[in-house]
Amino acid sequence: MKHLALALLLLAPQAAFASWLPLWYDIPARNNPQDPAVSRSSGAIAVTSSAQHSAAPALAAAGWGFDAAGSQGWAVDPSAGLGILSAAASSARSHDGCCSLACACAFQGLTQSGRVAVDLSSSPLSLAGRSLRAWLYVPAGLGLAGGLARLEAVDSQGACVPGPAISLAGLAGWVALKAGPGAGLVRSVGLDISGVKAPFYGTLYLDSVSY
């Protein structure tokens, strides 16, 4: 009996340590978001990271081509008008590469406007001595409705620096747009559509925005 009690005493710390060890071992995986999470399904083991990945930078090497099937930070600016409803990368049309930025429009007429832009305020872009260039696909319906298209930049002081306005009346297909050369840092680059005089429901495509 004495020997049995002694054996139980010796085994108790090991049992306690064994029950505590998995909990201690699991602490890094629970507290460190960089640790991968492992799950098993139908005998296969899948490893997925629980880390929060930041989005890719909006600014490409020399512009925006939308070929990674993403909008690269471009979005609708509702403060400039409600004619453009949404902006998303699409493979439906492209000037070069595989994708462009599809801008879904619902112009009601009455010289309505719309704008899509990319916010560069966290990392301003220098356009000193450089020109902005882009291609815009104009459906025949918008050509009939008329309107003006232009590229524009917003400088570090909040002032808009527009390029020349191109009349869309009677146009269809890819149209070249240009603005600049710029004089310094800009915190936003955008496409502005204004003065659409007749209702138009369709999609514009912006591609190959370069500088």
Q: How many CB atoms lie within 10 A of CB 89?
A: 19
Look up the CATH superfamily of 63-210. Answer: Galactose-binding domain-like (2.60.120.260)
pLDDT digits (tens, 9 = 90+) for 119-169: 999 999 999 999 999 999 999 888 888 899 999 999 988 888 899 999 999
| 24-71 tens-digit pLDDT | 323 233 233 322 232 333 333 333 322 332 333 444 458 999 998 789
Asked if the bond preceding 57 is cis, omega within 30° of 0, the reply is no
Listed by start position, the domains of the chain span: 2-49, 63-210
Dist CA 67 CA 13 (whole Å): 61
pTM tops 0.75, yes or no: no
In the chain, which ranges are continuous DSSP H helix?
A: 2-31, 140-145
Q: How far apart are CA 127 and CA 16, in angstroms?
A: 67
Contact by Cβ (8 Å): 92, 104:
no
